[in-house]
């Protein structure tokens, strides 16, 4: 299954179009927080931007931590979320090693579901929705994916 990756974040200009698209299309909200991908500056604007998003763990620690089964393992990495089972305990966010789960003030989590709907909104092609099996992609393919020149 495809996952969302961010192979070209050096190109990010900090427009937040990806986060806004995820919030709008997936979570039905106007927000740059309630989103599976969130952009922050890495130590001030002068040092560029980084994306906070699910890295598609398999097995996912958030799934193990979830006490209700709201989070379950997604094939190919990452999680499937059934919000109606969520009790807003925040265990998923605590368990995530890369701070990918956002909890809103009511404790409701937002996490990337690897649907790729944010990808077309990135004006600099920082993002990719791709089959990615860690360690199986050839060096040449990986280099091409993060390549800097596009004619």
Partner 1 sequence: MIRDHFRVLLVDLSTGRRSITDVDGRNTVAGGSGLAAMLFGKYGMLDKPWNEPGQPLIFTIGPLTGYFPLMSKTVCAFKSPYHDQYAESHAGGRSALSMRFADYDAIVITGRAKSPSALVVGSRQIEIKDVHYLWGSDLYVAGKALRRMLPGSGHRTILRIGPAGERQSPIACINADSYRHFGRLGAGAVMGSKNLKAITIHGDGSFLIPEGNEYVKIFDKVYKDMTDTDMMSKYHNLGTPGNVRVMNDLKALPIRNLQATTDPASEGISGERFAEVALLRNAACAGCPVGCIHIGFVRERFREENRYIYRQISYDHELIFAVGSMLGVMDCFEVLKLIDVAEKMGMDVMSPGVALAWATEALTKGLVTEKETLVPLSFGDSKSYQTALWHMAYGTNEFYQVLSQGTAKAAERYGGGDFACVLGQEMAGYATGETFFVSQALGLRHSHLDAGGYSYDQKPKGKTIEDAVKFLVQDEKGRVFLTSMVSCLFARGVYTDEVLGSCLKSVGYGTLADNMGVVSSGIQKLRWKMRVGSGYRPEDVSIPNRFTEITTWKGQIDIGFLNGLKDQYAKAIWSLAADTEKAEKSG
Residue ranges in contact with partner 1 by CB under 8 A: 13-17, 20, 23-25, 28-34, 38-41, 43-46, 48-49, 104-105, 121, 123-124
Q: Please report where in the chains the tokens 């993002």 appear, as a residue.
A: 127
Side-chain-side CA neighbours of 58 within 13 Å: the count stands at 13
**Three-state DSSP class for 129?**
strand
What is the H or E stretch that residue 93 is in?
helix 91-95
**Nearest approach, Cβ of residue 45 and partner 1 (Å):** 5
**Nearest approach, Cβ of residue 37 and partner 1 (Å):** 12
- The residue (of 58 and 104) whose beta carbon lies closer to partner 1 is 104
**Nearest approach, Cβ of residue 67 and partner 1 (Å):** 25
- The residue (of 21 and 66) whose beta carbon lies closer to partner 1 is 21
- The residue (of 20 and 60) whose beta carbon lies closer to partner 1 is 20
CA-based nearest residue to 9, from 116, 142, 141, 122: 122
**Nearest approach, Cβ of residue 145 and partner 1 (Å):** 20
Query: Cα separation of 88 and 67, whole Å?
Result: 10
**Nearest approach, Cβ of residue 125 and partner 1 (Å):** 12
Residue 148 in tokens: 């800097």
Residues for the chain: how many in total?
A: 151
Query: Cα separation of 21 and 39, whole Å?
Result: 12
């Amino acid at each position: 299954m495809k996952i969302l990756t961010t192979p070209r974040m050096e190109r990010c200009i900090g427009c937040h179009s990806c986060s806004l698209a995820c919030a709008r299309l997936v979570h039905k909200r106007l927000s740059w927080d309630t989103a599976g991908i969130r952009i922050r500056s890495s130590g001030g604007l002068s040092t560029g931007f980084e994306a906070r998003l699910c890295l598609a763990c398999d097995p996912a620690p958030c799934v193990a931590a979830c006490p209700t089964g709201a989070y379950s393992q997604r094939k190919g990495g990452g999680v499937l979320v059934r919000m109606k089972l969520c009790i807003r305990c925040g265990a998923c966010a605590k368990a995530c090693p890369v701070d990918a789960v956002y909890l809103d003030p009511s404790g409701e989590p937002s996490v990337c579901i690897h649907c790729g709907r944010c990808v077309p909104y990135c004006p600099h092609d920082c993002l990719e929705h791709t089959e990615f099996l860690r360690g199986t992609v050839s060096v040449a393919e990986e280099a091409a994916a993060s390549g800097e020149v596009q004619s």
